[in-house]
């Protein structure tokens, strides 16, 4: 069975909805959850997730607040929770303190796309290991096979393959990038590969997971949280439609 990873931004639609959304995603059959930490300058994200970041910050979401929300539902979650965000807020919080809080809040892994691998190796890898956290790097169609193997060697949990060289939610994301997906699947990787960016339907999910362990859906899910008054039912129906 292919794994489904659902991303959403913490602190939307309302500040206190985070825990409820996590429980809803888990109950609907997703295999893991990626929680976005709101940031004022989310450069790798498209308009929908940028809007979610803005709303979450306006609602008052902070890293401290997120950890307290995660601790409050820690005993009710049993699928992997992964925090995704940018390095600056993490460094402001204190990297080791951040990792310690992750381990105490039921977080199993991190994705920090703008942390350079060389910096990770030099300064942060040992801290990540100390707190038993996974760390996932991203690869794109432009990433050479040699570098994919290098990033795979540093990653744990899974390797995040961006479907095409674009921002999240791009309408033109190439989900039939056969050469790229075939090249990844031909490499002797130690981590399973999850493909993300542009997956909106069950058909999209099935396309990308033919040569990968699973798919990551973000923008399509965040759009439901932002634009539907009856978002709970819509969110459940959406996940069921992918997993059916």
Q: CA of 62: how far to CAs of 51, 71, 157, 197, in Å?
A: 16, 14, 26, 25
Catalytic residue flag (residue 121): no
Structure tokens at 190: 């130690």
16, 20, 31, 34: the catalytic one is 34
Q: Across-strand partners of 70?
A: none
Catalytic residue flag (residue 64): no
Distance of alpha carbon 74 from alpha carbon 175, whole angstroms: 35
The answer to whether 28 and 239 have CB atoms below 8 angstroms apart is: yes
16, 20, 31, 45: the catalytic one is 45
Catalytic (active-site) positions:
34, 45
């Amino acid at each position: 069975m292919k794994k489904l990873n659902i991303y959403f931004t913490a602190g939307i639609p309302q500040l206190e909805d985070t825990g409820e959304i996590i429980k809803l995603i888990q109950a609907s059959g997703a295999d893991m959850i990626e929680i976005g930490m709101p940031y004022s300058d989310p450069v790798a994200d498209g308009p929908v997730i940028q809007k979610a970041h803005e709303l979450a910050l306006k609602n008052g979401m902070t890293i401290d607040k997120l950890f307290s929300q995660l601790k409050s539902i820690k005993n009710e979650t049993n699928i992997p929770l992964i925090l995704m965000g940018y390095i600056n807020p993490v460094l402001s919080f204190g990297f080791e303190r951040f990792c310690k809080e992750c381990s105490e809040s039921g977080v199993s892994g991190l994705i920090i796309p703008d942390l350079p691998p060389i910096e990770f190796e030099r300064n942060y890898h040992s801290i990540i290991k100390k707190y038993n956290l996974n760390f996932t790097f991203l690869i794109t169609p432009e990433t050479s096979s040699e570098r994919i193997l290098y990033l795979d060697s540093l990653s744990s949990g899974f390797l995040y393959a961006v479907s095409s060289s674009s921002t999240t939610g791009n309408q033109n994301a190439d989900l039939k990038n056969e050469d790229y997906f075939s090249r990844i699947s031909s490499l002797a990787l130690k981590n399973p590969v999850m493909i993300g960016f542009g997956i909106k339907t069950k058909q999209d999910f099935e396309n990308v997971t033919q040569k990968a362990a699973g798919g990551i859906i973000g923008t399509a899910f965040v759009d439901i949280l932002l634009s539907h008054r009856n978002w709970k039912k819509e969110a459940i129906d959406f996940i069921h439609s992918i997993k059916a």
